[in-house]
Amino acid sequence: MNFTDAEQLASQLDASDTLASLRGQFDIPDGIVYFDGNSLGPLTYRSREVLTRTIEFEWRERLIRSWNEDWLAMPARIGNVLAPIIGASPNTVTVCDNTSINVHKALMSAVALRPDRTEIVIDINNFPTDIYIAQSVADQNNLTLIAVPADRIIESISERTAVVTATHVDYRSAQLLDAEGITLAAHSHGALVVWDLAHTAGAVPFDVTALDVDFAVGCGYKYLNGGPGAPAFIYVAPRLLDTASQPLQGWWGHEFPFEFETSFRPAVGIDRYLTGTANVLSMKSLEAALEIFSGVSMVELRAKSQSLTTFFIDLFDAFLAEKGFSLGTPRDPESRGSHVALGFAGGKALVETMAEQGVIADFRPPDLMRFGCAPLYNSHMDIVHLVKMLAAR
């Protein structure tokens, strides 16, 4: 294969792309090819429109009246918009806080539901914040943290395990963990499971209902494109909502927050996982960005994601494998998420140089370059442009 062949193939693939028109809903600057949606999704035109209205009308004109007119309902309303993306039933997802705080809530809830257990099992290669929080939860509850590689999680679960937690898509390699197997193993031992869907939601199908997941969390600013610092989400299985409690008992999680009682009574259902006042502007941006998912199936998104990453790996084999790059992502499309990781000794400097030339990706130490292939706006021709630049380094 040469680059002329690659461009012809990319043109054919892009011509048959049923999602191609969605790229026009994103305000990606001219001259920029963006491969970092796995860290921060780009701005949508709809988010800008909604934020402008929120500032100019809801905040400037309606002022505090906007709380009762719209803002108080946002966490639950946006949670219900997001729910189908992760296979959740209505009123089981709320949008609030950030991923770290929601991981803490979920783990503390799970531990409280299994008071006779002594261990937490976690993927040792999990995103660091998950590990830090799991360790803090273990310390606060006099539990032992069992940190093992993903392929040893199932064998590490026992009758001592209170909760198992892992990230569905490995943030470095894009390796998909065995969500079904791990969840079944946890439940077979009476343990609960908390899944982090930060690199899953909006790019990789996940069905919390079919998998019988206990808790799930994730952020709103990666493939969901909610904007920098966009709020996270938390899911709790319906069978747990009446008995589960969370440790951050703020006034928004109270059954009657505007009665201003001095004692805490948890709200009914998923609302009890709220804590403090919603961040209105971030919420509005996320809600607007999620509109793009209303007419798109996760099956379509997954198919394009796999097409993009497969095409990238094919071009890696043709043009990059003999130039000092190594593939850090599974070759099996069913085993990877929506980014491709390449190892390269000068990766950090190369990523910085590429950014100056209009191709934006990211770097994770010690030598890993990550390229997010977001099905809503990346194209196969983008991949050719990227590989040409890498090959010419």
The predicted-structure confidence for 363-373, as pLDDT tens digits, reads as follows 999 999 999 99
Catalytic residue among 105, 271, 370, 377: 370
* Among 295, 325, 350, residue at a domain's last position: 295
Question: Is 304 part of the annotated catalytic residue set?
Answer: no
How many domains is the chain partitioned into structurally? 2
Q: To the nearest whole percent, how much of the chain has pLDDT over 70?
A: 100
Question: Is 221 part of the annotated catalytic residue set?
Answer: yes
Q: Which helix (H) or strand (E) holds 84?
A: none
Question: Is 127 part of the annotated catalytic residue set?
Answer: yes
Same domain, 281 and 177: yes
The Cα–Cα gap between 253 and 276 comes to: 8
Radius of gyration over every alpha carbon of the chain, rounded to an integer in angstroms: 22
Going by DSSP bridges, is the β-strand pair 362-364/368-372 parallel, antiparallel, or unpaired?
Answer: antiparallel
Q: Which helix (H) or strand (E) holds 78?
A: helix 74-82
Catalytic residue among 117, 222, 284, 304: 222
pLDDT band at 393 (very low <50, low <70, confident <90, very high): confident
What per-residue confidence (pLDDT) applies to 136? 98
Give the distance between the most distant pair of CA atoms in the chain.
71
pLDDT at residue 87 is higher than 90 = yes
Same domain, 240 and 342: no
Catalytic residue among 36, 97, 196, 214: 196
Catalytic residue among 127, 312, 319, 325: 127
* DSSP character at residue 253: G
Same domain, 338 and 288: no
Same domain, 218 and 135: yes
Catalytic residue among 221, 235, 319, 325: 221
Q: When comparing pLDDT for 116 and 393, which is higher?
A: 116
* Residue 44 domain flag: no
What per-residue confidence (pLDDT) applies to 337? 98
Same domain, 144 and 218: yes
pLDDT at residue 295 is higher than 90 = no
pLDDT at residue 157 is higher than 90 = yes
* Polymer length of the chain: 393
Q: Which amino acid is at 189?
A: H
User: For residue range 303-359, what is the model confidence (pLDDT) as tens digits?
Assistant: 999 999 999 999 999 999 999 999 999 999 999 999 999 999 999 999 999 999 999
CATH at residue 216: 3.40.640.10
Q: What is the mean pLDDT of the chain?
A: 97
pLDDT at residue 118 is higher than 90 = yes
Question: Is 196 part of the annotated catalytic residue set?
Answer: yes
Question: Is the pTM value of this prediction over 0.75?
Answer: yes
Same domain, 184 and 249: yes
In our burial notation (b when 16+ CB lie closer than 10 A, e otherwise), range 351-368 reads beebeeeebbbbbbeeeb
pLDDT at residue 389 is higher than 90 = yes
